[in-house]
Structure formats: structure tokens, C-alpha cells
């Protein structure tokens, strides 16, 4: 069946940091309609009026089609473009999202949505949409401009605030073993019920905030804070932490390097558990518009309350990468090596961890995410009570789903479930855990 498209009437994406030409495959990924649709001539007229800058006249035509229930996705697309040209970005976003909810594979619409989000200063959402668009085989100029645009988002980011709260049913709130007894000094000892896995449902609240001072100067200064608190009916298992980071940022090799001093404090059961002081360096770079690569190095000294045997240094090195796997899927992977020292060699360890997963747009405002992690830990020497060295193998899988277009006062819901299995040479550290989270979250 013959089709009519109107992408050729619209002259590309002006992104503020450059012009992004209409993609070479946009004709195949823009809203289309049957040539027999009676609204075709009216849509063509509205497109001509839009191209001529006659927004009020174009709006009248599109509104007339909407009132008659004609035009479908092409009408919504023109509605979005008219709204964008008239700086009604909120309506433009709604129109483009409506189209993508019905067909997430429309490249042109995703590019227009990304541009609109940028104009609304919804930078994280804009960056996400552009990263998905980079998966399409577009011209080299388009890919370069997408990369430049994503860099511009990072450069202009002045502050951010994320808040979430909810409840979390958990089969093992104290990260303990299910075993009833363990061998200590070669003899079996029955574990107290409080030392075994306990189930419960916690209420949690968390968030993070950051600000970049002198962000357009040669050396911006980053200040960030984060924290989380989960409370159970049995307050002995309440868990909370808070951290602060501050330091300069540098432009290095086309990416951004952030170096910060860090402080971290954790409480368990209402009592101080550990205090950490240290430094970290984070590097991030966008490659080819689609790839996002990064690296992190963290050095901390940990002081545990009333546990001098586990005081010591921790060194963590992490590499990460993400890239679009298509117009609707973003893949990611990371790898971590960690070294922990302690006064007791039995508490010192090496730990390695790899993880990978994907986020997918499936329409209807739904965005599921899956992740799998595998970790291995080997301690330096035997733990005194067990006369045996700790060696763990951990497998963890998580699945979450986010509903973008539902919200309560701007808070969007998500549901997640995480299954963890830690197999250890020492039965005391053998663990099974199934944890869910129902949360409301908002990014400011």
C-alpha cells in the first residue's frame, strides 16, 4: 500500500549546539499513514503552514482533525512539532511520548522527543533518548551531533536532586545464613535464632543531590551528598548510611574526570557501624554518540565501631560501558576489582564482580530492566573461630519495571525483585535472599 510521510517537510533538528540533519532512514521510522486516508490533504496543508511559520493556522487544522478523530500518528506528530515551534514543550513532549508508546521504533519521533526534553532541561531523560537514537544507522554527521549534544548536557548540568521512598519485603533482612548450626573450633554450635536469616518488610527513604560550581569555568567544583534509611518493625535491623563528596572536575581526552574527597558513615540497628574517609576519581566519556564508557577508582580507610580486627583500607577499581542495542534497548556492563585490608588476615580479602543487563522501552510508558551479577571473594587467611579461609561465590539477578506515565505529585512508581545466592566455604556466610521493592521516585 502506498504511504505518505512528512519528514521531508521538516528541516532537521536544531539542537542549540549544532544542527542535526534529518536521518537518512527517517522515512522508514517516522509516523506514516495510508494514502487513502481522507485526512491526507489536511495534514499536508498543516505541514506547509508549519514550515512557513504560520503556527496558529497550522494549529487550527490539526485541532480540527483531532476533533473529527482523523489523522492518527501523523496528526500527533504535527501537533508535537507545532507545539515545539510555539515553545509549548510540555505538550510537545506529551505528543511525542504518545506516539512512542504506540510504536517505540520511530527514530524521528525519538529524536524530536530528545530535543524537546533538552529544551525542558530534563537532561537525564534527554540523554537517555539520544543514547537510544544513536543505535540507528544514521549519517556520520548525525552521530557526531548526538555525541556533541550529550556532551553539552553534561557540561551545562548545574544541580540534580533525586528522591525515592517505598517499602521492601525481604526474606533475609540481616543477610544471614539459614543453617541452624556451624562448626567453631571443630565443634558444632547451634546458632541463636537472631543470628539466622530473618524476614521482614522495611520502609525506606533515600536520595542524592549534587551541585556543580563554576561549571563553565576551567575547573568546575562538584559537591554531592547521598543517603538511604530503611526501618523495620524490629529496629535492631534498621540500616542507614550517608555520604558526602567534593572536588574539582577536569576535561581529559574528550571526557570528564572528577576527583573528590569522600566521607561515608553507616549505622546498623541505630548504632554506629563504620566510618570511612577517602578519595575517588570518576572518568566518563561518550564515544561515537552511542557508547558511554567510564572508570572509577576509590580508596577509603574504614574504622569499624568496636571492631579493630576489621579496620583497614579498601581499594576499588571499576570499569563500565553502555551502548544502545537498538532503538528501544540500552545494554550495559561493568566489572569491579576490590581489595580490602584488615588487622586480622582472615578478614582481608580480594573480591571481583562482573555485571551486565539491559533496559528496554516496550510502549505504554513501561520500561523493564534486567541485571545479572556474578562475584567471587577470597580472603587472605583462615578466620580464627573456623580455622578455614572464607571463599564465596555470589550470583544475583534483578528485574524491575518502571511506569513513566503514572505519577503521584510527580513521583513515578517502579517495582523490582532481586534474588541473591551466596555460596560460601564457611556455612555462617552461606546466604539466600529474595527482596522486593515498591517505590515512588522523582528526579528534580
- pLDDT at 25 (0 to 100): 37
Report residue 256 as a C-alpha cell: 570528564
Where does CATH 1.25.40.10 sit in the chain? 3-156
Comparing CA positions, the residue from 86, 85, 90, 152 lying closest to residue 120 is: 90
Where does CATH 2.40.160 sit in the chain? 159-247+317-443
pTM here is 0.80
Find how far residue 222's CA is from the centre of its chain. 20
- pLDDT at 32 (0 to 100): 58
pLDDT > 90 in the chain, percent: 57
| DSSP SS3 for 122 | coil
310-333, pLDDT tens digit by residue? 999 999 999 999 999 888 899 999
Burial code of 208-239, b = ≥16 C-beta within 10 A, e = fewer? eebbbeebeeeebbbebebbbbbebeeeebbb
- pLDDT at 137 (0 to 100): 67
For residue 324, give every residue at least 6 positions away whose Cβ sits within 8 Å of its Cβ, in sequence order, or none. 131, 132, 133, 134, 135, 290, 330, 331
Residue 316 or 215, more confident: 316
Q: Does residue 399 contact residue 416 with C-beta atoms inside 8 Å?
A: yes
pLDDT of 153 > 70? The answer is: yes
- pLDDT at 27 (0 to 100): 35
Residue 39 or 441, more confident: 441
426-437, pLDDT tens digit by residue? 988 999 999 999
229-242, pLDDT tens digit by residue? 999 999 999 999 99
Q: Yes or no: is domain 3-156 CATH 3.40.50.300?
A: no
Work out the mean pLDDT of the chain and round it to a whole number: 86
pLDDT of 19 > 70? The answer is: no
State which CATH number among 3.30.1380, 2.40.160, 3.10.50, 3.30.70 fits the domain covering 159-247+317-443.
2.40.160
Q: How many CA atoms lie within 13 A of 42 on its CB side?
A: 20
240-291, pLDDT tens digit by residue? 999 999 999 998 988 999 999 999 999 999 999 999 999 999 999 988 767 8
Amino acid at each position: 500500500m502506498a504511504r505518505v510521510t512528512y519528514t521531508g517537510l521538516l528541516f532537521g533538528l536544531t539542537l542549540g549546539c549544532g544542527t542535526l540533519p534529518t536521518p537518512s532512514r527517517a522515512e522508514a521510522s517516522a509516523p506514516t499513514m495510508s494514502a487513502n486516508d481522507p485526512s491526507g490533504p489536511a495534514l499536508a496543508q498543516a505541514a506547509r503552514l508549519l514550515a512557513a511559520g504560520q503556527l496558529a493556522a497550522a494549529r487550527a487544522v490539526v485541532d480540527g482533525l483531532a476533533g473529527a478523530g482523523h489523522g492518527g500518528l501523523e496528526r500527533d506528530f504535527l501537533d508535537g512539532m507545532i507545539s515545539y515551534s510555539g515553545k509549548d514543550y510540555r505538550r510537545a513532549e506529551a505528543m511525542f511520548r504518545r506516539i512512542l508508546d504506540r510504536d517505540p521504533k520511530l527514530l524521528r519521533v525519538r529524536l524530536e522527543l530528545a530535543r524537546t526534553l533538552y529544551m525542558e532541561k530534563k537532561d537525564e531523560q534527554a540523554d537517555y533518548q539520544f543514547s537510544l537514537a544513536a543505535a540507528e544507522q544514521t549519517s556520520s554527521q548525525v552521530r557526531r551531533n548526538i555525541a556533541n549534544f550529550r556532551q553539552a548536557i553534561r557540561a551545562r548540568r548545574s544541580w540534580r536532586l533525586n528522591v525515592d521512598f517505598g517499602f521492601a519485603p525481604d526474606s533475609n533482612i540481616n543477610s544471614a545464613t539459614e543453617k541452624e548450626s556451624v562448626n567453631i573450633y571443630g565443634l558444632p554450635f547451634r546458632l541463636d535464632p537472631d543470628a539466622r536469616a530473618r524476614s521482614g518488610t522495611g520502609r525506606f527513604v533515600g536520595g542524592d543531590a549534587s551541585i556543580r560550581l563554576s561549571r563553565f569555568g576551567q575547573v568546575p567544583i562538584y559537591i554531592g551528598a547521598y543517603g538511604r534509611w530503611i526501618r523495620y518493625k524490629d529496629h535492631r535491623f534498621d540500616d542507614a548510611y550517608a555520604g558526602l563528596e567534593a572536588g574539582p572536575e577536569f576535561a581529559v581526552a574528550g571526557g570528564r574526570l572528577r576527583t573528590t574527597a569522600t566521607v561515608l558513615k553507616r549505622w546498623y540497628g541505630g548504632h554506629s557501624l563504620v566510618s570511612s574517609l577517602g578519595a575517588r576519581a570518576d572518568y566518563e566519556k561518550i564515544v561515537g554518540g552511542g557508547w558511554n564508557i567510564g572508570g572509577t577508582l576509590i580508596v577509603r580507610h574504614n574504622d569499624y565501631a568496636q571492631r579493630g580486627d576489621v579496620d583497614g583500607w579498601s581499594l576499588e577499581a571499576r570499569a563500565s560501558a553502555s551502548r544502545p542495542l537498538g532503538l528501544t534497548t540500552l545494554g550495559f556492563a561493568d566489572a569491579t576489582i576490590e581489595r580490602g585490608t584488615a588487622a586480622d588476615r582472615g578478614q582481608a580479602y580480594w573480591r571481583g564482580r562482573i555485571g551486565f543487563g539491559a533496559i528496554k522501552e516496550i510502549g505504554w510508558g513501561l520500561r523493564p530492566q534486567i541485571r545479572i551479577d556474578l562475584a567471587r571473594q577470597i580472603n587472605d587467611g583462615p578466620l580464627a573461630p573456623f580455622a578455614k579461609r572464607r571463599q564465596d561465590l555470589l550470583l544475583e539477578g534483578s528485574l524491575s519495571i518502571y511506569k513513566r506515565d503514572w505519577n503521584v505529585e510527580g513521583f513515578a512508581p517502579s517495582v523490582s525483585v532481586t534474588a541473591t545466592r551466596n555460596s560460601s566455604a564457611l556455612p555462617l556466610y552461606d546466604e539466600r535472599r529474595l527482596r522486593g521493592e515498591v517505590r515512588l521516585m522523582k528526579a528534580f
